Amino acid sequence: MDVSFCPERIAEGRAMTELFTLPQIVGARDDRARERASRLFGALTDDIVHLSPEEAELAKLFTNTWRYIKFAAANQFFMMANDRGLDFERIRQAVVHDYPRAADMPGAGFAAGPCLFKDTMQLAAFNNNNFTLGHSAMLVNEGLPLYVVARLEEQRDLTELTVGILGMAFKAGSDDTRSSLSYKLKRILEFKAARVLCTDPYVVTDPSLVPLEQVLAESDVLVVATPHPQYRDLTTDLPVADVWNVLGEGVRL
């Protein structure tokens, strides 16, 4: 039996582009399996990278974990700057400006979805839970919703306020709510605030969601949880916690 491991590497929402543009890793035990898998994926891309199955599996886990760790670093930087009254996004833009070695520094935001957290924890399990860096990244990223709520609590009495959450999908332009930290944010706020209203222009599987117009009309404070493009031109007089800088007014909370 010919067995190959060829990890999926595309980003959600980009399949029809990245299937044809990204190199395909083919992990196989012998030449016959390698040739058959390479011929199959050769119909999509000419760039085939050959590894053993074990190397291919680690390549997949390393890729997603590396992204997760980078997001955690950015989120930790954001919290450090924000705790001192400084705008992380303003600092980040200065850092990456015409400086190639920092060009891949991401902005702050909820790092979630069905792959990054899972693969980071899978890599930790593979290494007998000896993965301090991965576990630290998990604590930072999974802790960001609680940090946002804690900052809101410092500024106002949430027990008397309605909080509106904008975006429940795990990423912009998607209807996928799997492992979305928006729902973790919602659960925390349901303990802290008088009322929580949630909206999303794409998600249709959650009957508790309400229209954006209702959220804007009935909320006292807003949290941009998912950076959907529909929120970029949002006009409101309400205070907004915008970790993603979707509104372009900085990320200070």
Residue 107: predicted pLDDT: 97
pLDDT digits (tens, 9 = 90+) for 173-215: 999 999 999 999 999 999 999 999 999 999 999 999 999 999 9
Confidence of residue 80 (pLDDT cuts 50, 70, 90): very high
In this structure, is residue 189 part of a structural domain?
yes
pLDDT for 1 beyond 80:
no
- Please check whether residue 73 is in contact with residue 81, taking contact to mean a CB–CB distance below 8 angstroms: no
Question: Both 112 and 151 in a single domain?
Answer: yes
Confidence of residue 227 (pLDDT cuts 50, 70, 90): very high
Average pLDDT over residues 126-137: 97
* First vs last C-alpha separation in the chain: 57
Share of the chain above pLDDT 70, in %: 100
In this structure, is residue 250 part of a structural domain?
no
Question: Both 89 and 43 in a single domain?
Answer: no
| Number of domain units in the chain | 2
pLDDT for 11 beyond 90:
no
In this structure, is residue 253 part of a structural domain?
no
pLDDT for 108 beyond 90:
yes
Distance CA 124, CA 138 (A): 11
In this structure, is residue 247 part of a structural domain?
no
Cα within 13 Å of Cα(2), Cβ side: 12
Residue 18: predicted pLDDT: 86
Question: Both 116 and 175 in a single domain?
Answer: yes
Residue 2: predicted pLDDT: 85
Task: Provide the domain limits for residue 91.
Answer: 60-241
Give the tokens for residue 74: 């950015």
Question: Both 21 and 139 in a single domain?
Answer: no
Distance CA 75, CA 69 (A): 10
Question: Both 162 and 210 in a single domain?
Answer: yes
